Structure 1
Amino acid sequence: MDGTGRIMSAKHGRRLAELILAESERTGLGPGSRLPTERQLAVDLGVTRSGVRLALAALEADGLISREVGRGTFFSNAAGQAFDALRASPDEVAGRVAGYPAPAATDFAPADVMTIRRLLEPQALPLVVMWATARDFAEMERCVAGGDQAVNYEEFETWDLALHRVIMAAAHSPLLAALYSVVESARHGQVWGDLKRRSASSQRRAVYQEDHRAIVTALRARDADAAVESMRTHLTRVAGHLLGETR
């Protein structure tokens, strides 16, 4: 599959995730309800099982479902907000759930995106150290674990996006979350996606995961200096891989 095809696949997965939410709300499912099996969802929606798996990965990364071995897949308590947002405006589900307006994919220049990320994300971490809750840290760990289990680029990128979003949300600043939603929208754009995919490899994914663990460990320890330094190191590494920069 070429780069454009993979981008369309990721977008298709996100749209299927919204469709699963809409169909579940229509049939009366809610927080705590068990979803149909992957096979049944594929039949009900008229899509492939691979598409359903990508959609479920997106829902899991957003914290809307949990998978329990031997029992099935269940909507989490957070899914209640998703259903409320869906009833209000289906096109805003993903962003309303996360607590800020849904980002539309925007093709900003990747160099510009990285410049703003390097200005914004490290400087936000002292706020995260100050205000993050036990639940925030649990969400960070969940996203890191999701990245460990990702089997392809699309799944890893979903968890990567989710982790950075959760970290910024842990500052508990609505304005910061709104600002970061613009950065996230750029990471959904085709220009960013093409460049990121071309630079991706299993080795780099492993290094990014090490960076992610270092960031979360420092935040858990309430060590602002270490967290800021770990984030700067990570973003410098990403910029180097994307843009050919040197440290």
Structure 2
Amino acid sequence: MSEHNETESAPRAWRLVLESIERDLLDGRLGPGDRIASERDLAADLGVGRSSVREALRVLEVMGLIRTATGSGPQSGAIVIATPTGGLSTLLRLQVAAHGFPLEDVVRTRLVLEDAVVTALAGAQNRDLSAAHQTLDAMDAADLSPSEFLALDAQLHLALAESSGNTVIAAMMTGLRTSIESYVQEGAVAIADWDAMSALLRSEHRALVAAIDAGEVDAARSLVHAHITGYYTATGLTRRADARNPPSTD
């Protein structure tokens, strides 16, 4: 393949490589710990240039699905790694950075995800909320700036998602964290009495975690919904109509 032709076909060629690796993963021919075929073999098998193979592998590495290492030992080459949250989280973060998501969509998605999180946690026989309690304690510090407080707020919600044991939800919350935190930080500017707002948020957080600890599923769902919609309504970031039409809890 000439360098000119490879350059013209590169956008399609590296996608062919991705699709081939995807098929191998879906069909079980590749799994965590397995080494992907060499650049030379992939290029020959798929009829593409080695630069296209390298581009595809760079994409997979950035997404956290493989790691690459030079050399000739057992850990050299491109190896599939078991990071269930890596690829999805990275993809969402890149989407947020490149285009952003409408605020209303972020709020609705949070409601769906966090409803599932508190339902799972409150209904679990065993739950570990130690990370959430540590974050709650950190949020009680008197000298926190609004920015520092809201960063901990985001960390609390992520800690709950990670404690739920649902790796897909945890990955989505991780990927959306930047978007969520940026909107929440933006809303703080509209709060005239930050001390009163932070006190309210602390109280809401404590009540939510207490309901989860007590296994009160319905209360936890109601509290997390009121907490999320209440802040966005109070800051004027989202239309009041969105807060009046929550997802069905049937």
Q: Residue 132 of structure 1 contacts residue 172 of structure 1 at CA under 8 Å; is this kept in 2? A: no
Q: Aligned in 2, Cα 1:97/1:205: closer, same or farther, shift over 3 Å?
A: farther
Q: Aligned in 2, Cα 1:208/1:187: closer, same or farther, shift over 3 Å?
A: same
- Stretches (4+) displaced over 6 A: none
| Residue aligning to 2:152 | 159
Cα deviation code 1:152-202 (max 9, x no counterpart): 11210121011000111111011111122232131244x553234334722
Among residues 109, 113, 116, which one is paired with 1:120 in the alignment?
Answer: 113
Whether 1:223 and 2:216 are equivalent positions in the alignment is yes
Choose 1 or 2 for highest CA Rg.
2
Percent of aligned positions that are identical? 20
- Supply the RMSD in Å over aligned alpha carbons: 3.1
Q: Residue 130 of structure 1 contacts residue 222 of structure 1 at CA under 8 Å; is this kept in 2? A: yes
| Residue aligning to 1:178 | 171
Shift of 1:231: 0.6
Q: Residue 169 of structure 1 contacts residue 177 of structure 1 at CA under 8 Å; is this kept in 2? A: yes
Among residues 146, 150, 166, which one is paired with 2:138 in the alignment?
Answer: 146
Q: Residue 150 of structure 2 contacts residue 181 of structure 2 at CA under 8 Å; is this kept in 1? A: no
Q: 5+ unaligned residues in a row in structure 2: which ranges?
A: 1-63, 69-81, 245-250
Shift of 1:133: 5.0
Shift of 1:126: 1.7
Aligned length: 153
SS at match of 1:148: coil
Q: Aligned in 2, Cα 1:111/1:158: closer, same or farther, shift over 3 Å?
A: same
Structure with the higher fraction of residues in helix conformation? 1
**In 2, Cα distance between equivalents of 1:193 and 1:117:** 16
Q: 5+ unaligned residues in a row in structure 1: which ranges?
A: 1-84, 90-95
SS at match of 2:139: helix
Counterpart residue identity of residue 118, structure 2: L
Whether 1:240 and 2:233 are equivalent positions in the alignment is yes
